[in-house]
Amino acid sequence: MTTATWLGRPVEGVLFDLDDTLFDHRGAADRGVRAWLSGLELDGLLEDHVERWATLEAFHHERFQRREISHADQRRARIRAFLPGWDLADDALADDTFAGYLACYRAAWSAFADASVALERALGAGLAVGILTNGEQRIQETKVQRTTLASYDVPVFASSSLPAAKPDARAFHHACAAIGAEPASVVMVGDSLRHDVRGAHGAGLAGVLIDRVGRYRPDEVAGVTRIRSLADLRWAS
Ligand SMILES: [Mg+2]
């Protein structure tokens, strides 16, 4: 039995968010969209297109997470809104065009260097470890398999395979049961204050905010445990 603790609390397990926690989604999306846009020859400033793409991604992916539209349809909605002058009414044409972005995005996939440190420490401390992510199961597993995260053999619990997405408590409870740990003895680590940290608290887990770039103001995270690097996660015993 493990004697690991986090802030004085006994810990049996840790759940990591994937995108922008272990996996550098934002970096890959940014590098990917720039590579893709360089071939599209759109009018206007590159930076404006990059920002518009990010806004559309956040908006439509959130709709997918709320189960308003399918994963395929959120991609189509994004590409149609991003290229309003293009004839993308046909799903196959929209999918083909989106595939151009996807190829550039996938070529840029990488995990954060401190992800390996965090996973090695958690596994070394005898903790049950899982990845709890809002996304499509197959895609999220592919991100793990194609990066340095693959060598840790950590199970992936993606919202498409769960009763609900984070911040719904059911997502956390399902993942805790799957790794064999009580919610009260599990720490959730993620970059989203709402999805990962507040969601974890609502489900009875401890929550840790990974905020690499100071995205949140101090008043927004009052009372929240915030770290700047996954290397800051240390399991006392
Ligand atoms: Mg995330």
Cα(25) to ligand 1 centroid in Å equals 8
Cα(133) to ligand 1 centroid in Å equals 7
Helices (H), 90-224: 91-107, 113-124, 137-145, 169-179, 199-202
Q: Is residue 54 part of a domain?
A: yes
Give me the mean pLDDT over the 15-32 stretch.
95
Cα(234) to ligand 1 centroid in Å equals 21
Cα(190) to ligand 1 centroid in Å equals 6
Bridge pairing between strands 5-6 and 9-10: antiparallel
In terms of domains, do 78 and 172 share one? no
* Average pLDDT score over the chain: 95
Q: Which pLDDT belongs to residue 11?
A: 97
Q: Quick one: pLDDT band at residue 1, thresholds 50, 70, 90?
A: low
Distance CA 45, CA 28 (A): 20
**Residue 99's domain spans which residues?**
26-107
Bridge pairing between strands 128-133 and 156-158: parallel
Bridge pairing between strands 128-133 and 5-6: unpaired
- Which of 107, 136, 157 finishes a domain? 107
Cα(93) to ligand 1 centroid in Å equals 30
Dump pLDDT digits (tens) for 72-124: 999 999 999 999 999 999 999 999 999 999 999 999 999 999 999 999 999 99
Cα(9) to ligand 1 centroid in Å equals 24
Dump pLDDT digits (tens) for 33-72: 999 999 998 999 999 999 999 999 999 999 998 889 999 9
CATH of the domain at 150: 3.40.50.1000
In terms of domains, do 77 and 11 share one? no
Give me the mean pLDDT over the 128-136 stretch.
96
In terms of domains, do 131 and 16 share one? yes
Dump pLDDT digits (tens) for 184-207: 999 999 999 999 999 999 999 999
Number of domains forming the structure of the chain: 2
Cα(113) to ligand 1 centroid in Å equals 16
In terms of domains, do 91 and 193 share one? no
Cα(110) to ligand 1 centroid in Å equals 14
Query: Strand, coil or helix: what is 132?
Result: strand
- DSSP state, 223? T
Cα(20) to ligand 1 centroid in Å equals 5
Q: What CA–CA distances, in Å, run from 197 to 19, 53, 97, 121, 194?
A: 14, 26, 35, 21, 6
In terms of domains, do 120 and 220 share one? yes
Dump pLDDT digits (tens) for 155-188: 999 999 999 999 999 999 999 999 999 999 999 9
Distance CA 54, CA 33 (A): 9
Which positions ≥6 away from 119 have C-beta within 8 Å? 16, 22, 129, 149, 152, 154
